[in-house]
Amino acid sequence: MAAEKPVEVCVKAAVGVPDSLGDCPFSQRVLLTLEEKKIPYDIKLMDVNKKPDWFLEISPEGKVPVLKLDDGKWVPDSDVITQILEEKYPNPSLVTPPEYSSVGSKIFSSFIKFLKSKDANDGSEQALLDELHALDEHLKQHGPYVNGENVSAVDLSLAPKLYHLVIVLDHFKGWKVPENLTYVHAYIKLLFNRESFVKTKPAKEEHVIAGWAPKVNA
């Protein structure tokens, strides 16, 4: 049953474009969950460089995403938020079976390490390739999504992270996901073409690049 009034959610605005949806993969994960469950929601865009006082009161660390509950409390952390949404709006179910819930879980950290790496021999590229190969093997056996025919929570967590990986590694390193990872490529295409993804992705690829530039140049 749909909510009577829209759920309020604070997410990151684009760097330098405060009225445009930003590049936070954790914010997008929450928006994807809301979209896939057809829950009406009201977005509040946060300029992370000029956080208003009212926002710092509900999220003292200034982190997004944050979701407002029925009792008026604001809850941070995409893991917690998506769990609450699953419990409150169980249909359609997005539960990933426990044995698959950690599939691809090290891809994002491996991507960041490789992105920041200045040493071609430090093993960071191979570590990322190993994670992508493991995902490819899983999808080969269980795809097209991590849990088979239907999209689930783990896919909605991975989709924004893979989007960042594809855009950012190409831009900063001229690196692309190897063509021989055919199941990963098919998975990426499937995810990026979902209506929920198209509606919730950053307004422009440049916003993703702008969001990562300070970390790459650090």
CA distance 157 to 80: 13
- In contact, 104 and 146? CB cutoff 8 Å: yes
pLDDT tens digits, one per residue of 122-165: 999 999 999 999 999 999 999 999 999 999 999 999 999 999 99
pLDDT of residue 15: 87
Domain boundaries in the chain? 7-88, 98-217
Q: Which residue out of 9, 11, 13, 24 is catalytically annotated?
A: 24
Cα gap 13→20, rounded to integer Å: 6
The hierarchical CATH code for the domain 98-217 is 1.20.1050.10
Query: 98-217: same fold as 7-88?
Result: no
* pLDDT recorded at residue 87: 97
State the Cα–Cα distance between residues 200 and 27, nearest whole angstrom: 9
| Topology adopted by domain 7-88 | Glutaredoxin (3.40.30)
10 is catalytic: no
Mapping DSSP onto H, E and C, the string for 111-141 reads HHHHHHCCCCCCCHHHHHHHHHHHHHHHHHH
Reported as a pLDDT band with limits 50, 70 and 90, residue 75 is very high
